[in-house]
Structure 1
Amino acid sequence: MKKIIALFIGISSFAINAQENSMNPVSWSSKSIKISESIYDIVITGEIEKDWHLFSQFTNKSGSLPSVLTFENSKDNYQLIGLAKESKTTTKYNDIFEVDETFFVNNAQFTQRIRLISKELPGIHLNLSYQVCKEVCINKEENFMISLDGSKIEVSQVIIDEKNKQLGEQLLLDLKNKEQFNNDLPNQTTKGNLWKIFVLGFLGGLLALLTPCVFPMIPLTVSFFTKQSDTKSKGIRNAILYGLFIIVIYVGLSIPFHFLDSMDPEILNTISTNIWLNVIFFIIFIFFAFSFFGYYELTLPNSWSNKMDSASNTGGIIGIFFMAVTLALVSFSCTGPILGSLLAGSLTSDGGAFQLTAGMMGFGVALALPFALFALFPNLLKSLPKSGGWLSTVKVLLGFVELALAFKFLSNADLVAHWGILKREVFIGIWMLIFGLMALYFLGFFRFPHESKKKFSLPKVSFALLIVAFVIYLGTGLSKNTHLKVLAGFPPPTFYSVYTQSSDCPLGLDCFKDFDKGLEFAKKMNKPILLDFTGWACVNCRKMEENVWTHPNVYKVLKDNYVLISLYVDDRQELPKEYQFKIQMNQNHLKKIKTVGDKWATFQYLNFKTASQPYYVTLSPQLEVLNKAKQYTNADDYYRWLQQSLKTFNN
């Protein structure tokens, strides 16, 4: 179990990868010390804020991330003599990772001795990546340009080589008519998505209430407050306070992710579309599903809940708070998978941490509601159904849902990596199999461990028939170019298919996946450009393509009047070596452009100051902005926007 917890901590640490964070717990300085004509010591010193600690280069790799020093321009210019030496460190056992960790407290110093080969070298370009922790862990990266003669060299003046300069400049567009463009365009999906995520979180909380871990706790806890309190009003107050603390606890779980707001603007997209992170979520969700099926119990360490239970005996407000914490811990085997779904599904570039907070708040409100409601109206307790086999049936239902969601994460990894394993028809077939097995389960054809023989009942048969209808609906998506509008965004796009496709673009449209080639074609044809910033794992992008672009008027305009350039910001296909480069985003962030997605995500941010998808811009072949940018919207609004842009172009 500790390894599972460590895995979640690792994922959270990845999520809080602060390459460009307003929080800066370490202040750095650098210098060079001349030892002889050709020998120098390069010294990096960091002053660490109180209660923070920074990890050594030599800390156990099974624990937190070690510091890494990278000398960018060594090769023929100088040689490193041995490993970098460190100032005083502290070693302490970490019971989460179960290893000894070595770290710096208050200050850190790295000293690397070098031998010069080229005496004309102006300075040493050094990159330091490290992890610094307090309540949360932040991954940071610092660049230093260290002069050997005492003169000052600004990092922003560093040009790695001429190739990097040229390739970096190619990403910048000379946009004209910028007054038409609104760089501060609000995310049109955010408000709607926050409510949707809140409702989904609320529904998840209601499902959690109907599990064996939580449901039996409702009458017990409410009875405790009403009977143990001196007065009825005090009992009601305590129960309501208990419910509020439940909401606070679950909302609090989302707070660390708000550090993302001040980070690299592309970090949320990087997290949600990272290949191996999606594979990890696939494995975790499979693990969750089989725990719901009853093959094993998923619990947090008993010592945690025992400590919280002891603290709840304190009495007063503090005691009630720890009672709420105890509920959160002991119900983890049922709530954990649902919370994992919220975490994995909410962290996108549209809304990000705010979506996660909305989801967690919805979950907490649903979980807290019955405790406050039954405290106000205790007679309603008599109307609660008795605990029984139906609770385990709910768990099995959630298990099938978790199994289906697991393959969505594997599909994300498959799409961005272009593995070609889960083509659209394969994905739909797997979902048909999963939900088909769910229908057979409710019809009583098989049962899971620790379940007694199931009896037929009208509700179960009715629910099974609904699932069969859903399976039949899924089956319609197996035919070529058939859209499942209800599930738009979940299956892979129609052009990612086992069938031979005339185009690898949405809806069979002609499109370009390289901006320069698309621009050249637009000039040749004298047509306006629809610049489509999209993603392989972008659900809202698929919804736009399958629900909006399929509208007859929209499709005709796209096909006849525009040159479509679709740039996939999460494409993990590596660029040819000669086209990989580094670009100085700011004084402290030297970004490596290694993949197709790196290139187009950086291109989007540099020119349009946003990192959200879908994101649409209309341009003339002379790079004149034709209209304000557009994000997720409905077909009528999108059609009007296309027509307005076309009118501006024709005028």
Structure 2
Amino acid sequence: MKLLKTTFLTALLAMFTLAVAAQMQDPVHFKVSQKKVSPTELEVIFTGRIDKGWHVYSTGLPADGPISATLHTEKAEGVKAAGKLSHRGKEISQFDKMFGMNLRYFENSVTFVQKFKIVGKTYKVSGYLEYGACNDENCIPPTQVEFAFNGEGPADAPEAEETTEAEATDTTAAAAMAGADSLQTDTAAVNAQGDLWKPVIDELQNFNGGDTGSSRSWIYIFLMGLVGGFVALFTPCVWPIIPMTVSFFLKRTKDKKKGIRDAITYGISIIVIYLALGLAITAIFGASSLNALATNAVFNIFFCLLLVVFALSFFGWFELTLPSSWTNKVDNKASSTSGMLSIFLMAFTLTLVSFSCTGPIIGFLLVEVSTSGSIAGPAIGMLGFAIALALPFTLFALFPTWLKQAPKSGSWMNTIKIVLGFIELAFALKFFSVADLAYGWGLLDREVFLALWIIIFGMLGLYLIGKLKFPSDQGNTDAMPVPCIVLGMISLAFTVYLIPGLWGAPCKAVSAFAPPINTQDFNLYHNEVEPKYKDYEQGMAAAAAEGKPVVVDFTGFGCVNCRKMEAAVWTDPQVADKLNNDFILISLYVDDKQPLDKPIEVVENGRKRKLRTVGDKWSYLQRSKFGANAQPFYVILDNKGMPVAGSYSYDENIGHYTDFLNTGLKNYKK
């Protein structure tokens, strides 16, 4: 028992540590070395390894773009810089609509090299490399890699002289930086802020811990699988098999209890088969690969095409079937065996026979789950699907009289297939949108996406009210049943709801699926939000005077996803009204290059660190007070600097962001 308690407490501690560490991201790892190319030439080499999904920006980007890789030389005795910082590796160039320029960056690995000419008998050189890195959701603040080297130069060289920083530093940064010798410590500037700078990592984690996003995600995936399984039940490939299979088990033996037991075993076998499929998907791709699928453009294009194929199959253009030899072999094996194995093989036969109907539903489920970021997603989704599929076999075996009341097979099952086809076609556009945004093609801007959804759901509404027919419906002349007509009216109403979005209306119901509003070329709707303060202390003082809570927005001039949040979420009327009227909004730019009046020296993780710019100060505030270093990052504080809600990162879902603001406002008023 003691060992069990120790293990449990260790696991809890590990989970808490991981939860805190998850907000502190360190996706790039640099090693620094020096290489004497000749007696008079020196190279300082920065070799970087970049985590999957992240990228490091190249050198020499325009000033209004993301953070360029830049070398800052603080001390140079006996050496002079020879040229600018250069790079080695596969540089990727891609046009970014948000910045309106070509962005150059590196993935997986990069090497930056600065050459120096040795002009003294000995030399000393020190400084730091500054770089910016982002993924598809976050950016980290400008990060520094310090270096300090010394050595001997040519014997006939003059005595070493210290060069000025302007001679040894990139000209774009020289004017803004002060030399190391003139750096003054001013830790009092931070300590004087008192409670406003007090770390609140534990308090923030308590709020975030109550927001069990992972658990909700698993529940959502399970429910999605459950719904998929219930839908699959009512397809022509599954529903007619249920009464025949249940009758077979009840009649194969005079012992009714044994028949019921066999039917339950049959249902459990279905669950085992589909659960094994989900586990196999996770094992084959691996957790990291499944997480990477969410933003991988190639996979999203593949998923888009896959869903289009499934939709066309449901429309009746062709039928997806597995080789008949597979079904025959499994069926023959089931007939020649007995006991539990025969029941399991019968369940496997059902899986193969029903593939033409269940395959597209399973495929759609796995596509959604694979891009959800959940490691165990496929297994959880398949468990829900299998339980729903196996449930009627078990229930009808336990209560055989229910079979008489079950609806008979008919044209209604074909209607379900057609409706599913429309839904899969609509979701296919969602995955193409991810690839379109990643590559900057501009093929599926927001108005194009909405126009296609208007057509899809408009046609779905016409089909459900009986005004549109498919080849599989030609033999059916009956009027559509009332439930279909009601659903058709809902679909048509949804179509009308989407139409104003073509001119820039928020259409919050589809904000999680449609491209961000900044991709819209024709937009009559403008509701920008500007922060009232860009200084933490001034903003907090104003909030205390007005008695309002504070939204602290850790952002960056070069943060693409920060701009997306501002364009897609802050322009929503409800969000804009709350940020402008109910809160004091403070935006802190972690890449602000304005030098501090007095540089600050702090101790972080046991090491001294120099805060030279305003951006350094705000980045340190985010790390030390909130335990996070990625942008965008939002937190709601009271007037004493204490959090009143959990933190919020990149998520363009307007409903989620509104809930975040409402929770903070409600807790502040308490």
State the TM-score bracket (shorter-chain normalisation). Answer: 0.5 to 0.7
Residue type of the partner of 2:199?
K
- Change in Cα spacing, 1:236 to 1:428, as seen in structure 2 (3 Å) is same
Residue type of the partner of 1:553?
K
Asked if 1:484 is matched to 2:501, the reply is: no
CA distance in 2, matches of 1:607, 1:318: 60
CA distance in 2, matches of 1:418, 1:566: 26
* 2:414 alignment partner in structure 1: 392
CA distance in 2, matches of 1:330, 1:253: 16
CA distance in 1, matches of 2:500, 2:445: 15
Q: What's the offset of the Cα at 1:292?
A: 0.6
* 1:225 alignment partner in structure 2: 249
* Candidates 428, 443, 453, aligned match of 1:421: 443
Q: Deviation per CA, 1:587-615: give whole Å up to 9, x if none.
A: xxxxxxxxxxxxxxxxx999988899996
Q: Is the 8 A contact 1:519 1:529 kept in 2?
A: no
Q: Is the 8 A contact 2:304 2:431 kept in 1?
A: yes
Query: 2:552 aligns to what SS in structure 1?
Result: strand
CA distance in 2, matches of 1:282, 1:431: 15
- Change in Cα spacing, 1:519 to 1:557, as seen in structure 2 (3 Å) is closer
* 2:479 alignment partner in structure 1: 457
Asked if 1:241 is matched to 2:259, the reply is: no
CA distance in 1, matches of 2:507, 2:231: 29
CA distance in 1, matches of 2:623, 2:389: 40
Q: Is the 8 A contact 1:254 1:353 kept in 2?
A: no
CA distance in 1, matches of 2:627, 2:323: 45
Give 5+ residue unaligned stretches, structure 1: 1-71, 79-119, 130-157, 512-517, 568-603
* 1:509 alignment partner in structure 2: 529
Q: Deviation per CA, 1:59-78: give whole Å up to 9, x if none.
A: xxxxxxxxxxxxx99xx999
CA distance in 1, matches of 2:217, 2:48: 42
CA distance in 1, matches of 2:246, 2:404: 12
Q: What's the offset of the Cα at 1:619?
A: 9.0
CA distance in 2, matches of 1:291, 1:179: 54
CA distance in 1, matches of 2:286, 2:348: 30
* Candidates 408, 412, 434, aligned match of 2:430: 408
- Change in Cα spacing, 1:273 to 1:363, as seen in structure 2 (3 Å) is same
* 1:11 alignment partner in structure 2: none
Q: Deviation per CA, 1:528-557: give whole Å up to 9, x if none.
A: 7734799979x9999976889628435534
- Change in Cα spacing, 1:500 to 1:401, as seen in structure 2 (3 Å) is closer
Q: Deviation per CA, 1:501-542: give whole Å up to 9, x if none.
A: 798xxx62248xxxxxx99776897897734799979x9999
- Change in Cα spacing, 1:612 to 1:359, as seen in structure 2 (3 Å) is farther
Asked if 1:550 is matched to 2:565, the reply is: no
* 1:332 alignment partner in structure 2: 355
* 1:209 alignment partner in structure 2: 233
Q: Is the 8 A contact 1:225 1:238 kept in 2?
A: yes
* 1:380 alignment partner in structure 2: 402
Query: What is the TM-score of this pair, normalised by structure 2?
Result: 0.56
CA distance in 1, matches of 2:273, 2:301: 28
Q: What's the offset of the Cα at 1:160?
A: 6.9
Asked if 1:287 is matched to 2:315, the reply is: no
CA distance in 2, matches of 1:608, 1:257: 37
Residue type of the partner of 1:464?
G
Of all paired residues, the percent bearing the same amino acid is 35
Query: 1:240 aligns to what SS in structure 2?
Result: helix
* 1:630 alignment partner in structure 2: 647
* 2:276 alignment partner in structure 1: 252
Query: 2:634 aligns to what SS in structure 1?
Result: strand
- Change in Cα spacing, 1:229 to 1:283, as seen in structure 2 (3 Å) is same
* 2:320 alignment partner in structure 1: 298
Residue type of the partner of 1:508?
E
Q: Is the 8 A contact 2:529 2:576 kept in 1?
A: no
CA distance in 2, matches of 1:231, 1:261: 46
Residue type of the partner of 1:616?
Y
* Candidates 172, 192, 199, aligned match of 1:178: 199
Asked if 1:270 is matched to 2:270, the reply is: no
Residue type of the partner of 1:425?
E
Residue type of the partner of 2:522?
Y
Q: What's the offset of the Cα at 1:218?
A: 0.5
Q: What's the offset of the Cα at 1:271?
A: 1.6
Q: Highest CA radius of gyration, 1 or 2?
A: 2
- Change in Cα spacing, 1:218 to 1:227, as seen in structure 2 (3 Å) is same
Count of aligned pairs between the two proteins: 461
Q: What's the offset of the Cα at 1:164?
A: 9.4
Residue type of the partner of 1:202?
L
Q: Deviation per CA, 1:549-585: give whole Å up to 9, x if none.
A: 6284355345xx2234799xxxxxxxxxxxxxxxxxx
Q: What's the offset of the Cα at 1:209?
A: 0.8
* 1:365 alignment partner in structure 2: 387
CA distance in 2, matches of 1:548, 1:358: 37
CA distance in 2, matches of 1:336, 1:605: 47
* Candidates 438, 452, 466, aligned match of 2:460: 438
Query: 2:401 aligns to what SS in structure 1?
Result: helix
Query: What is the TM-score of this pair, normalised by structure 1?
Result: 0.57
Q: Is the 8 A contact 2:305 2:428 kept in 1?
A: yes
Q: What's the offset of the Cα at 1:402?
A: 0.8
Q: What's the offset of the Cα at 1:280?
A: 0.9
Q: Is the 8 A contact 1:548 1:554 kept in 2?
A: no
Q: Is the 8 A contact 1:247 1:365 kept in 2?
A: yes
- Change in Cα spacing, 1:449 to 1:183, as seen in structure 2 (3 Å) is same
Q: What's the offset of the Cα at 1:455?
A: 2.1
Q: What's the offset of the Cα at 1:198?
A: 2.6
Taking the TM superposition and a 5 Å limit, the aligned residue runs for 1:589-600 are none
CA distance in 1, matches of 2:565, 2:399: 42
Q: Is the 8 A contact 1:489 1:540 kept in 2?
A: no
* 2:634 alignment partner in structure 1: 616
Q: What's the offset of the Cα at 1:336?
A: 1.8
- Change in Cα spacing, 1:272 to 1:260, as seen in structure 2 (3 Å) is farther
Query: 1:394 aligns to what SS in structure 2?
Result: helix
Residue type of the partner of 1:167?
Y
* 2:518 alignment partner in structure 1: 495
Q: What's the offset of the Cα at 1:371?
A: 0.4
- Change in Cα spacing, 1:388 to 1:494, as seen in structure 2 (3 Å) is same
Q: Deviation per CA, 1:32-59: give whole Å up to 9, x if none.
A: xxxxxxxxxxxxxxxxxxxxxxxxxxxx
Q: What's the offset of the Cα at 1:206?
A: 1.3
Residue type of the partner of 1:423?
D
Taking the TM superposition and a 5 Å limit, the aligned residue runs for 1:525-544 are 530-531=552-553
CA distance in 1, matches of 2:573, 2:212: 15
- Change in Cα spacing, 1:410 to 1:206, as seen in structure 2 (3 Å) is same
Q: Is the 8 A contact 1:412 1:536 kept in 2?
A: no
Q: What's the offset of the Cα at 1:255?
A: 2.3
Give 5+ residue unaligned stretches, structure 2: 1-30, 52-109, 115-126, 133-139, 145-189, 191-195, 543-549, 591-621, 649-654
Q: What's the offset of the Cα at 1:240?
A: 1.2
CA distance in 1, matches of 2:266, 2:630: 38
Q: What's the offset of the Cα at 1:248?
A: 2.5
- Change in Cα spacing, 1:177 to 1:627, as seen in structure 2 (3 Å) is farther
* 1:68 alignment partner in structure 2: none
CA distance in 2, matches of 1:333, 1:540: 41
Q: What's the offset of the Cα at 1:297?
A: 1.1
CA RMSD of aligned residues (A): 5.3
Q: Is the 8 A contact 1:443 1:456 kept in 2?
A: no
- Change in Cα spacing, 1:384 to 1:645, as seen in structure 2 (3 Å) is closer
* Candidates 366, 372, 375, aligned match of 1:353: 375
* 1:167 alignment partner in structure 2: 131
Q: What's the offset of the Cα at 1:489?
A: 1.1
